[in-house]
Structure 1
Amino acid sequence: MVPESEFISILAALLTGLMLSVGIEQFMIPRPPLRRHWAAWALHGGLWLLAYALIVLLLGRPWFSAAVVSAFLLMLVLVNNAKVNALYEPFVFQDYEYFTDAIRHPRLYIPFLGWGKFLGSATGFVLAVAIGFWGESTPAQRWMLSGQLGAIVVIFFLGLLLLLAGRQKKLPVSFNPERDVCALGLLASLWRYAEEERAPLAAVSPFGFHVHRKSDNDLPHLVAVQSESFFDPRSLYPGIFSGMLAEFDRLKGDAVAYGKLKVPAWGANTVRTEFAFLSGIGDDKLGVHRFNPYRAIAAASDVSSLAAYLKCLGYRTICIHPYPASFYRRNRVYPAWILTNLWIYVPLTGCSAMALILATLP
């Protein structure tokens, strides 16, 4: 049997953490209403209990473990709010690579956060861990089924039952992150988007057909530039000097066609635009894969592309991108799409990422 004091400590920390999770979620933008489907609450509770059980198993300190899970949830809420303010889109499961990319490519993310804030956050984390370990001791019967381990097993299976109950309902998602977060809450929406991630990419590219190779004399060289920071701002405010883009206006005058381009991104996430250009597939046909289509391509690698079409015509296709080849798994996606990678490393602080696609004759 679990000693009464240990049982009370684990139960009190569990209930406090669960109530805190509901309160923390209310700081989200947009704020999910408390009135939602029971299955969404089951997923919320199940995920929290499983995380809590695993952290208690690792640390042996119930209150500190509840604080760790609560801090992680608060971090997700803060990241969500930052993304909404900057990109007008809530945090979704497919964004988890933000965290792994920040570890693999720190010089892309840390300069925008600021080294002072980064070092301050790291120091605060280390101090919080030290205080947690110093302020709460582990029980004597930690690894006994009659002690803390038995309570952890009960909590784990309770969380698992809640998770299985929530999964049975198969809550619908619209792939509109704002609508789904408001309908399901943060944790349930993350879970449902993770489930949908397992579905294969079923969209068909319009470039999926074969053509007869033409004479080299009939083929011009082609260059496509994706520059995510360039646009014509003069339509936003009449006070902007009309001649500020005189050369751009001259190029438009010489062009066969020009105009505004509708893209599936705002402010960042230009990999979505890159995918749409190379595959010819609109985001409305991608389901949950619209948020990071290259991950699905890396797994499937059988989606046709503009590069493959040009290859059939006799072109040699090359891509130049200013960052490591592993970023967004381009080192796996581009070879599958018959694009040769040429990577150029440039300082990215204050510089826009730019993809340059070249199609040249052999």
Structure 2
Amino acid sequence: MEAFDGRGVRPISRNPGDLALRLAAYALLFAFWFAFSWRPWLAAFSCVLTVAILAVVSRLKRGVIGEPLVFSDFALLRQVPRHPELYYTRPLTDPRMAGLLLASLLAVALWYGIEPAALPHEPSVAVLAVIALPLALWTLVQLSGYGALGRRLATRFPAPDLERDVARSGLPATILAYAARWRSTRPDEESGPADPLGSTEARDRVVVVVQLESFVDPVRLGGPALPLMDTLRARATQYGRLRVPAHGAYTMRTEHAVLTGRTPESLGFGVFDPYLAQGGAEPTSLARLARRVGFETVFIHPFHRDFFGRASVMTRLGFDHLIMEEAFTGAPRIGPYVGDVALAERVLAEVRARTAPLFVFCVTMENHGPWKPGRLPGLDDPHAQYLHHVAHTGDAVAALIAGLEGLPATLCVFGDHAPSLASCRPGFGGTATDYALLHFGDAAVAPLRRDLTADALGRKLRAELSPA
């Protein structure tokens, strides 16, 4: 199951250590399911089914995003029932989903009736066994990152290398080992100044950073030229390609990189979901730095507060004021999400209403996938839908540029990742999107083309918050 990747059969490593680790992961899965049922054949079937499901989901994910399943993906499972449309699945109330779940429950119940439990006949011994096995598994999990076992895992998995480790040790073993390594090696927090840096002299200063959902220059996707791109190339202080940490998804990776300026290497095994790893505990985030020099800090995103746990994460990152979906009641929606132009209008309203230097970090939503029939009236082709939305993104950024003219302001716009479209599969542009940095109220300078990584852009933005 694991060897077949959809393009052929990959060889399985015959190294004794690799085979032992692979089989140990299967044994742990068997023990996990056995602890629920005490029926060996049911546990064995459940183990095989689990490995098969992991392999299929990982194969699908690799085809869209370009990487296999990782342990942090399981932390996102709680979001799937709440936002099934974002995960290309159906609600649990859909008859096809509900029917499948009901059939599975009936099959398990039938198996329970056919296969006898392997529990000891003595009731007291049976109760002890039912308690002891889960306790033993829980203890193993707690100790997996420490002691002799932790040292062995650290030697075998010193740093994240997904492709190598999955090919060598198998998907279940890699998922379990990475989770253990993450628990035992949380990334270090960057040190920052403990005392306030003083207030900025530019009392009217405005810094607006806009993360554009699934944004790349549409010409790169075979679409028509976007007037905004010519404006950016002529008007921006600096612009270029932005190398982001993922393709087609994982917005939080790019978001975290820009807000903190931290390199992927500094995050250790937390690199796959920095919000899960740190929860916003970043003393030198852009928002915290902005607060230290007297800026009001505002986070704007027209979507649910619970998604990625953004409300709590952004508060911990240093944002004083969160403007989220409930603030956009009645705002125009283009497809299922609040339109980018309406979002730009809200950003400019915050700029006009400011009473102090203002730092705004805004995340757009209009062009979030999936792009599928029924999303837009009379426009069912996913590629055409994307281009329709990206034109609105161009209008929104143009409105921000016009609204900030004449102010002592900085505007930074960047794409979080390329879209997960059939015309834009992994490998497109090497995970690069586009970015631009514009200054207003200053003497004109010649635009500079410079390609950056997302974390390098975050470090560059720190200078925009320095006291004038």
TM-score range, shorter chain: 0.7 to 0.9
1:166/1:45 CA distance change after superposition, 3 Å = farther
Aligned to 2:314: 334
CA contact (8 A) 1:318 1:341 kept: yes
C-alpha contact (below 8 Å) 1:209/1:309 kept by paired residues:
no
Which position in structure 2 is the counterpart of 1:175?
160
C-alpha separation in 2, matches of 1:294 and 1:157: 30
1:200 corresponds to? 186
- Once the two structures are superposed, the pairs formed by residues 282-361 of structure 1 within 5 Å of their partners are 282-298=263-279, 301-339=281-319, 340-344=321-325, 351=337, 361=355
Distance 1:200 1:146, change over 3 A: closer
Are the structure 2 counterparts of residues 140 and 90 from structure 1 closer, same or farther at C-alpha, using a change threshold of 3 Å?
closer
- Which is strand-richer, 1 or 2? 2
Match of 1:187 in 2: 172
Residue of structure 1 aligned with 2:200, choices 192, 208, 214: 214
More helix by share: 1
**1:259 counterpart SS class:** strand
Cα distance per residue 1:134-189 (max 9 Å; x no partner): 442336855669999989989x989x7xx898756331344231122112211221
What TM-score comes out, normalization by structure 1 length? 0.75
State the partner residue of 1:259. 240
Work out the CA distance in 2 between the residues paired with 1:353 and 1:79: 32
Alpha-carbon distance between aligned partners in 2 of 1:142 and 1:56, rounded to the nearest angstrom: 17
How far apart, in 2, do the equivalents of 1:349 and 1:207 lie? 45
SS in 2 for 1:261: strand
In 2, Cα distance between equivalents of 1:203 and 1:211: 19
2 CA distance for matches of 1:361 and 1:40? 61
Alpha carbons 2:253, 2:272 under 8 Å: kept? yes
Offset, 1:48: 2.8
Report if aligned partners of 1:203, 1:281 keep a CA contact under 8 Å in 2: no
Once residues 194 and 240 of structure 2 are traced to their aligned partners in structure 1, the CA distance between those partners, rounded to angstroms, is: 27
User: Which position in structure 1 is the counterpart of 2:100?
Assistant: 121
What residue number does 1:14 align with? Answer: none
Pick from 52, 63, 72 the counterpart of residue 94 of structure 1.
72
Which of 190, 209, 212 does residue 227 from structure 1 map onto?
212
Q: How far off is 1:53 after superposition?
A: 3.2
Identity, in percent, stands at 27
SS at match of 2:257: helix
Question: How far apart are the structure 2 equivalents of 1:29 and 1:125?
Answer: 26
Classify 1:352/1:33 alpha carbon distance in 2 versus 1 (closer, same or farther; 3 Å): farther
Q: Shift of the alpha carbon at 1:126?
A: 2.6
**Native 8 Å contact 1:93 1:194 kept in 2:** yes
Rate the CA distance shift 1:110–1:280 in 2: closer, same or farther, 3 A.
closer
Compute the RMSD of aligned alpha carbons.
4.0
**Whole-angstrom distance in 1 between the partners of 2:339 and 2:176:** 31
Q: Counterpart of 2:3? A: 26
Give the Å deviation of 1:95. Answer: 1.4
Give CA deviations for 1:312-359 in whole Å, capped at 9, x if unaligned. 221111112233323323233222221132221588975499899878
How many residues of Structure 1 are paired with residues of Structure 2 in the alignment?
330
Residues 342 and 179 of structure 1, relative CA distance in 2, 3 Å threshold: same
Contact 2:38 2:119 in 1 (8 A): no
For residues 193 and 149 of structure 2, the distance between their equivalents in structure 1, rounded to whole angstroms, comes to 40
- What is the Cα deviation at residue 193 of structure 1? 0.9
Within-5 A mapping of 1:106-117:
106-109=83-86, 112-113=89-90, 115=94, 117=96
